Every structure is written in C-alpha cells, then in structure tokens.
Amino acid sequence: MRACHEAAQTEMVTVALRRVELRQNQQPLLDYIDLKKITLLPNTSGSAFAADALRQARLAAAMGNSHLKVEICGDVQTLLPDPIETLKAVELIKKNSDTRHLYLMVYTNDDPVLARRLADAGADCIMPAASPIGSGRGISNESNLIILLSMMKGRLPVIVDAGIGTPSHAARAMELGADGVLMNTAIARAKNPVLMAEAMRDAVKAGRAGFLAGAIKPKLFGTASSPTLF
C-alpha cells in the first residue's frame, strides 16, 4: 500500500470511521500512511441514515480532523449511495455546531440536479460515482457527468469516485474536467499494483493536461489537416 501511494503520488487517503481508529499509532493501517505527505480523509462508510453520518461526523471533528467524506449506502447489493439520506446528512452536519466547520466531500451518484442540491446544502466537494464501487466499468453515463461538471464549474471541485478500472478511465474523467479521481480496487487488485499505480498517475496527469490544452471538437466528417490556400 505504501509503495502504491508513492508510485501514484497520492495526496489523500480515505478510511472508514467504523473500521479504523483514527488516532495515530493505534492501528497498523495508519502506520503505512505517510501523514506528512498524505491528508487523511475519514468517511462515514457503513452509515445507512443521516443521523448515523452525523454521529460519525462528530467523532471525526472531536478527533481533530478537518475533512470528512459523507458516504451513505442505499443498497447492499449495488452499493449505490442513498441520495435522500446523503442530502439530509449534509444538511444536518452543516447545521450542527460541532461539525459545521468540516470540509465535506460528498459521495453521490452522477445526478447533476442532486449535485446542485448538495452544493446548496453546504457540500464543499462533489464526488460522483463513475459506476458502482469496485465494478471497474469506468464512466457509465458520460453525458450526466459532463452536465454535472458544467454545473459545478467555478463553484465546487469534482472528484470522480468509484468505478474506475483502467488508466484510460481515469484519463477520460480528467479530460472531461474532473479535478481528480479516487480509486482503490483498480490498483489494489491489479496483478502488479505498483505498476498500475504508476499507470494511473500518468493517466491522470495526461488527462488533466489534455483538458487544460483544449482538445479539438469531434466532427462527423473529415477535415484536411494541411492548408489549401497559401
């Protein structure tokens, strides 16, 4: 894991509050995360209701964390997020005096309208799933993601979360204008995890550069690349 973090130039690692003791040196997992270089992002994975997410947010705040990933599962088979409880959770956390200071990074589906509602409720970062978590299918609905990115442009950062399976998936997300990608399974279950981490790093950089460079618009018919007039 540590080698993959270094190879991918990881900037943030998310861990479930239900599964890991967030105080340093209390659990072996944290011993392998370089907290001098990597920001720890506790998440509310395992929550099924907004009230439970609020309780975990208060725990994260009490432990001195400044960031929180709001993650509420709505279905145990698909592991898709619950949009209603997720929105409620953001509203509750931002209204609670103990947790309102937390920088909320919200895991959601790729619904542009829901993303806007989450932003209105106080979310600081939108994290839409490209496809179901761990599926490796890549971006299932590119049109929705493009609309979502357009709505959030200049307002909130967007990190594509869940479903990335190959470097090309990561590159495409960045080409569309995402500010980053979050992944685990694609690297952790690769035959060579460190090599895959390096590939994902390069794909993210290439996709971002492609976005910033301003790619040409696709056309139905061919266009001569050499000038016809001199």
188, part of any domain: yes
Tell me what percent of the residues of the chain surpass a pLDDT of 70: 94
d(C-alpha 165, C-alpha 201), whole Å: 13
Predicted confidence band at 63 (pLDDT cuts at 50, 70, 90)?
confident
- The residues assigned a catalytic role are 69
* Residue 116 and residue 148 in contact, taking contact as beta carbons nearer than 8 Å: no
Give the rounded distance of the alpha carbon of 139 from its chain centre.
13
230, part of any domain: no
Predicted confidence band at 21 (pLDDT cuts at 50, 70, 90)?
low
- DSSP symbol at 158: B
The residue segments making up the domain with residue 31 are 2-212
pTM passes above 0.85:
yes
How many CA atoms lie less than 13 Å away from 5 in the CB half-sphere?
18
| CA distances for 226 relative to 223, 229, 230, angstroms | 9, 9, 11
Q: What would the mean pLDDT of 133-162 be, rounded to a whole number?
A: 93
79, part of any domain: yes
123, part of any domain: yes
Mean pLDDT score of the chain: 90
Phi, psi of 44 (to 5 degrees): -100, 25
225, part of any domain: no
More confident residue, 76 or 45: 45
Is the pLDDT reported for residue 23 higher than 60? no
> Looking at the 3D structure of the chain, how many domains does it have?
1
List all residues 6 or more positions away from 184 whose beta carbon is below 8 Å from its beta carbon. none
d(C-alpha 131, C-alpha 111), whole Å: 12
- Reported as a single tens digit per residue, the pLDDT across 187-210 is 999 999 999 999 999 999 999 999
Is the pLDDT reported for residue 226 higher than 80? no
The CATH number covering residue 100 comes to: 3.20.20.70
Own/partner contacts of 140-143, CB < 8 Å, gap of 24 or more, are 140/110, 141/110, 142/172, 142/176
Q: What would the mean pLDDT of 47-71 be, rounded to a whole number?
A: 91
- Reported as a single tens digit per residue, the pLDDT across 88-137 is 999 999 999 989 999 999 999 999 999 999 999 999 999 999 998 888 89
98, part of any domain: yes
Helical spans, DSSP H, in 42-82: 50-62
* Residue 170 and residue 204 in contact, taking contact as beta carbons nearer than 8 Å: yes
143, part of any domain: yes
Instruction: Please state which of the ranges 24-38, 153-167, 208-222 shows the lowest mean pLDDT.
Output: 24-38
Closest CA to 159 of 70, 80, 82: 70
